[in-house]
Structure formats: C-alpha cells, structure tokens
Amino acid sequence: MRAPLSNIAIAFSLAVPSALAATGDLDPGFADHGRLAPIAGSRGQALYADATDSGGILVGGSDFEASGSILNLDGMGCTYRAHGSSFVSRIDEHGVPDPTFESVTLAGIEAVSMTRQADGKIVGIGHEIVLVSSYRCSHTFTPTVFRLNGDGSLDTGFGSGGKKEWPSWNTIRSIVVDSKGRIVVAGTRWVDGDDPSTPGRHELVVMRLRPDGRLDRSFGTDGRYLGPKIDRTFSPLFRSRYDGMDKINVVRTSADSLRIAAQAVGKCLVVALTPEGVPDSAFGADGVATPRTGTGAKATCHVLESDADDRLIIAGTSRNRGFLARLLASGEPDPAFSADSLIARSTTQVTSVAIAPDGKLLASGTGPRGTAVVRLQVGGALDPAFGDAGRTWIDLDSDAAARLIVNCMAIGGDGSVILAGSDSNSDRPFVVRLSGDGGGTSRGIISFSRWHSAPQESDGKAVLYVRRSGGSSGAVSARFQTVADLEAEPRNDFVRTSGRLYWSAGDTSEKAIVVEITQRDVLPEALESFHVVLDSGRGGAGLGTRGATVDIQPDGSPGGQIEIDLLDLDACECSLDGQFILLRNYYFEGRVCVTFTTRSGTAIAGEDFRGDPAIVCWEDGDTDWKLPEIQIIDDNKKEGTETFTIELSNPTGGAIVGRSGSATVTLYDND
C-alpha cells in the first residue's frame, strides 16, 4: 500500500537537512574532497595515522618491492631482489605536507606496525631486508624495532642508533606501548621438533622492552612469553600485500595487562597476559579465549582493540563474510552486543576498528562493492546519524576499480575520523578524513559502485551503477560514455552510449547506466569487452572509480566452446605431436564430447596419414587440452608439401564448436 503523499513529503523534508551535513561525510577542507592519495614521497601502504594537536595528521607506512625470479638464473645467479623501506610524514589540516616536520624514509626496513608514545615519539617494528648472496638468492629478513623523535629524526638514544634487531625471531607483527613507556611487541619464532620425526612449529612470542630499548627481563621468562603454536607465519618472499592469516595483534588494558590475538589450529585465539607477562587465569580458559561469530562459526581475526571497560573488540572474517564481536573483560562473549548485519552482508573482511570516547564503534571493511566505514552504537546497532544511514563509502580517484584496505583508523578531538591504508592494486598509500560531529557541506564523490557487468548477448543490455558517496550537499552531475578500446565493436557488439547523471541536493541514490548489446547471428562469439567511463563532474563533486568494464559473455554456455589450436605449422612428416591441440574454452560444466574427423587434401588418407574419426571428451570441470592421435605414414617418397584438413562436429553436453572448428595441417617432405 502506498503512503499518503503528505507523509512522503514530510519524511523527505526531515531527511534532507541531516543528509546535507552528516557526521562521517568526507571533509571538503582536506586535500581532494577529503582524500589524499598518493602521499607525497611515499608508496606502498599507510599503516598508522593519528591526529596532531594542530589539526593535522601524522602518518607512517612502508613499501616492499621484489624483482626478478628465484627460478630464473641469468648466469650470475638468482635474479630475485627484495627491497623494503618505511616512511613517516606529517600533513597539515588541509592535507599538505608539513614543512616543519622532517619526513623520514628508512631504507632497508619494511615496517609492519607503528604507534606513538605519550611523549610524541614514534615507535615502529618491521623487518630489515639485506641481500646476503646474489647467487643463492638469499636475503635476511631480521625483525627490528625502531624509534623516531617527534620531529621525524631517528632517536639515537634508542637501541643502537635508533633501532634494535632481534635475529632470533622469525617475524615481528604488532606493537603497543604501556602506561610506563615500556614497549611490548608480538611475533613468532620457529621451533624445531624434538627429534627428526617431530615437525617444527611457529610459536607466539611476546616481548617487553624498556623505554631505552633494552630487554625488560622482569617480564615473563627473561623478558619473553612463549605462547601457543601459530598456524603459519609471515613469509617475506611469498606473500600478498594484505594477508589476515598472518595478523597478530597485541593491545593493553587499563591495568597494563595484555591481550594478543592470533590464528592457531585453524581458529582465532585471544591470549591474556598479566603485567608480569604470565597467563591471566581470570581470562577465558587458563588465559585463552576462542571468539566465534554469532552463528558459532570459527573466525579469522584481523583486528583487536580494547575499550575503556577492558572489553575486547574482535573483527575479521568468517565464512567469507566480515564479522565484529565484543568480549567481556573475562573473555566471555558480551551478551549486550550484536553487530549490525550490514557488516556481514556487505563486507568479506573487517580490516580496522576504532572506538570513540562515547563507546561507539567505527569499523572499516572491504566487500564486492568496495570499501566502507560504518559506525555502530554501543550495543552494535547501526548509527543512522553517521554518513549515509550509518555508512560512508571510501572511493579514491582511479581509472579502474581500486582494492582499498584500511589498515588504521583514528578519531580526532573534534570527532573527525582519520583512515589510512593502501590501494593494493597500485601500491598507493592514502589518507582520508571524515567530518566530525559538527557535520559539513561535502558535495561528495561520484563513482562506479558496480564496475563490472557480464551480460549474455541474448540479454540485450548491460547495466552499470554509479553512486554518490561521502556527502550530498547541493546538486551534482557527471558525464558517462562508452569507449571501444577492447575487443567489442560499436554497432556490431554494442550501441555507443553517452549522457549525464544527475543528483539533486540530498540525493544519494544509485544511478543506472544502460548500454544496448547488439545481437548477431554469426559464428560463435568469443568474450568481447568494452569500457564505460565517467568524467566532467559538475557541482563540486569529486570523482572516484572512473572506469567500468562490460564483458559480453561468449557463446557456448554451459558446456563451452571446443576449438582447434594450431601450435606449430612447420611440423616434420614424422609426427604431428605439438602441431595442434583441442581446447575447451570459457565454460566447463558437465561432460562434453566432440567428433574429430580428418579430410583428405593433397595428402591422402591411408597413403599419407591414418586418422579415423574419433570422439574426444571432457569430464565436468575438465579444462585440460586434448591431443587426438593421427599417424603419419612415411613412405620415403619425394612428394613435396601436402595438406589435409581436420574438423570438429557433433558437440554434446551443451558444448558448441568454436570459431576454430577446422584447420589445415601441412606435411613437409622429409628431404
């Protein structure tokens, strides 16, 4: 039943003002519509960010580069080379590098985490990368702790010249500073088996350093706590830019007790230690808790935070969906907390969490439609006063869809939200600032929200969607147009389309772009693609993802297209091996077969070759190529060049014969 028109009008008039000045909108006074990417003088990923007293942002990050291959020798040994570096910069309130800060780059150290002490000094951890042998492709990745002064220079009073190495460790992953300025780090070490028949293992290691970098031997056993077995550990040579399975997180409680989250035995474990570095028996079972999602499923924990009441926020992924849970100080699940289902519905993983002074939670996650930040009430319900009904999308200016990972969030004194992370597709670090509780007048960002469409030709159209996010003040628009820069051809495959999308003040709805797909009754068609692009934004809005791709699906669903692939037309008259193969392309559902036949040409069946008709089959899911057997008859006669034809016919199981359904094979005289 429709609502009365008057009710609709009232609802609209009430919704618009909050939409025009929402907490959580992109801060229009910071950099490019609230977004800074890339960060001057840096690449890789931003790992740490926090607000400065002057309203600016302190940001730190790292980069890892690898070139060559451990399998490719060039006569001088292995060609693989690994390089790491770290950076710390300070940005003013407008998103411009602060000239009073000595931006630092630490060559040779790839940082993995950073934090700031109460005195403003920055402590970081990472791995110092040194090439040991170019011939053996050997590098050392030594766990290292370093400290910088408040102006960005190395603190030479810490460790040895500002850094302290721990070669006995395997990896170093997380850091926290306690109320007395002591530095706690967590990572792993490798432990050999007790005998040759016992496999080795990775163990959790937690260590505490004094403020000057010396080992605090009053902690644990001689300065260390050795914990449970860890499933697997960080591999510097083979790793993705963001791998949640390698995450270890350490946080402290109000009484300087420690809580460490890591993956062990295929599940997330939270280990509790007292300030003395021994297991806290009041937490979980003998100091260990195992968080689970609301459905009871096991979870991979990417994030661990502690609130003012010593409750723990655990976040990550479970069954390929983002999750967020809260544990009481005892390690038991908090029955008063249930995270909004939007987190599980729209994200595949939660990568960062921040806790506001009033207890509200900010969570950032990635999903099929991009990266977003949500704010939850203390009990876990979505906070509608934040962003667009509780959520703000993070869309950076990019030619194609970016994969944005938020590694760190911080809350400024004015309630503003700072996000730092990286575009893992381009190794580009970024910082984003959202408006605080005072709201703002952000025009927002226009961006593809669904940047890929895969229609069948029979669908007759491709549909893409564009969103306005991060603010809705004023009327804005952007132009769109199709671009024939890939295989698909205008008129033959699609109809050229262009136009302009419009949003009025307060409008955050998605807009659809519809492109007509042309149907042709021709030979089976392969995958054909074209682009749709956004440009010419008006009304003060910025642009996010400006390019989308339409892939017109090939014919042959569900069995696939079966084709002949000629590999070497100069095969000798002794064998046809390597000259051609049969391929099953595009679709691989069900068992399919095709009849393979030879036809005489100048080469005569029975005289020059033997090739009886054969049926060639693929099982369900089989993607391997096939090589039918054809015997060449070598009669030692001088015959010159001869040819015959091979053909495919009678496909079964829903397959079709592709464009290359026949081919001519050439036989060369063996003189």
Sequence ranges of the domains in the chain:
447-552, 560-667
Architecture of the domain whose range is 560-667: Sandwich (2.60)
Residue 600 forms beta bridges with which residues? 644
Residue 225 forms beta bridges with which residues? 206
Sign of the CA dihedral with 294 first, then 300, 301, and 302 last = negative
Which segments within 195-243 are labelled E, that is strand? 201-209, 224-230
Is-contact 403 395, C-beta < 8 A? no
Place of tokens 């949640």: 244
Q: Distance between CA 598 and CA 359 in Å, rounded? A: 76
DSSP at 545: B
* Residue 227: Cβ-neighbour burial (10 angstroms; 0-12, 13-18, 19+): buried
| Of 235, 233, 313, 234, the residue nearest 270 (C-alpha) | 313
Q: How confident is the model over 205-251, as pLDDT tens digits?
A: 999 999 999 999 999 999 999 988 876 544 444 443 334 446 899 99
What is the predicted pLDDT for the residue at 169? 82
Return the half-sphere exposure (C-beta side, CA atoms, 13 A cut-off) of residue 527: 10
What is the predicted pLDDT for the residue at 134? 64
Q: Distance between CA 163 and CA 146 in Å, rounded? A: 4
Is-contact 638 540, C-beta < 8 A? no
Q: Distance between CA 170 and CA 141 in Å, rounded? A: 8
Please list the alpha-helical segments (H only) found in 241-400.
Answer: 342-346
What is the predicted pLDDT for the residue at 270? 94
What is the predicted pLDDT for the residue at 76? 52
* SS3 assignment, position 394: strand
Q: How many helices (H) and strands (E) does the chain have?
A: 2, 45
| Total length of the chain | 671
Return the half-sphere exposure (C-beta side, CA atoms, 13 A cut-off) of residue 368: 8
Residue 510 in tokens: 């998605």
Please list the alpha-helical segments (H only) found in 238-367.
Answer: 342-346
| Dihedral pair phi/psi, residue 587, rounded to 5° | -125, 145
Instruction: Give the CA radius of gyration of the chain.
Output: 31
- The CATH number of 447-552 is 2.60.40.2030
What is the predicted pLDDT for the residue at 249? 94
Q: Distance between CA 5 and CA 7 in Å, rounded? A: 5
Same fold, 447-552 and 560-667: yes
Residues of the chain with pLDDT under 50: 1-21, 73-74, 233-245, 568-578
Pairing of strands 201-209, 258-264: unpaired
Pairing of strands 498-503, 631-632: unpaired
What is the predicted pLDDT for the residue at 103? 79
| Of 516, 462, 459, 464, the residue nearest 492 (C-alpha) | 516
